[in-house]
Amino acid sequence: MTKTERPIANTSDLRISFEFFPPKSPEMDEQLWQTVEALQAYQPDFVSVTYGAGGTTREPTLATVKRLITETPLSTASHLTCVGATREEVRAVVEEFQAAGVRHFVALRGDPQGGVGTRYAPHPGGYVNAADLVSGLRDMGDFEISVSAYPERHPESENDVVDLDMLKQKVDAGATRALTQFFFDNDIFERYLERVRAAGITIPIVPGIMPIQNLTQLKRFAAMCGASIPAFVDARFEGSEGDPRARAAIAAEIAAEQIADLSRSGLQDFHIYTMNRAPLTIATLERLGVSTQTGNVSGAAA
């Protein structure tokens, strides 16, 4: 944001969290920690680290979480899945992460072992679903427990009623916050939130915001997880082909405008999927007027 620009909204109570994933190579490791260093200046409410279904990233996730806890001031949550694991194996993971200082888990069932689109089958000796996992975590300790929510419905849910019932089961089991799948149409989210509240679910429903790093890749990912890309997104990028700087600016504007619009509806908490890259997240926060000095938004509404 230039010196003459003003924030697009007065969101002085904004609370931001960031999601990272464990690196898979030395180059990705360097990129992650450069990103962490750049983003911690915005004083996020917390950060989370993803965990592969069946424990496929257990060691890299644990190493990343340990480093975040010991080398940064960031409140750090670890994702946890139950696919392909017994209850005893999950407990061992929880105890290991707890010993590392984790007090906040993002409890997820995880993708089917056969991959997205294949049929899910619980492990014979494991947790049946995310609600069952939340209940198990609640029995293991006094953890903060976040779960997932789907404004456009989980791809395996038969309908909205079934999907909402699963969220309610997770809340009844002890979840304290829900982080949503990314979306771009705020009307969809607001209708979803109305249904959630009407069902008696009162925990914070935190919008998941995905700044668009690569529109083509995002469309492929969205198709797999049941998220829609509205026509206005394509329209905003039209004519910017071959101009990475222009596309980055458009992506930051879309994400910032989405957050600003939702904040005007009274929402304060937002979870940003960083993809382990700082520039676009920073551009989004700067467009909102978020200061690295205080972590709050400065300036008046435009």
Choosing from 19, 95, 144, 194, which is the catalytic residue? 19
Query: Catalytic annotation on 156?
Result: no
Distance separating alpha carbons of residues 96 and 269, to the nearest angstrom: 29
Angle, alpha carbons 106-109-112 (nearest 5°): 140
CA atoms within 13 A on the CB side of 220: 4
Q: Which residues are catalytic?
A: 19
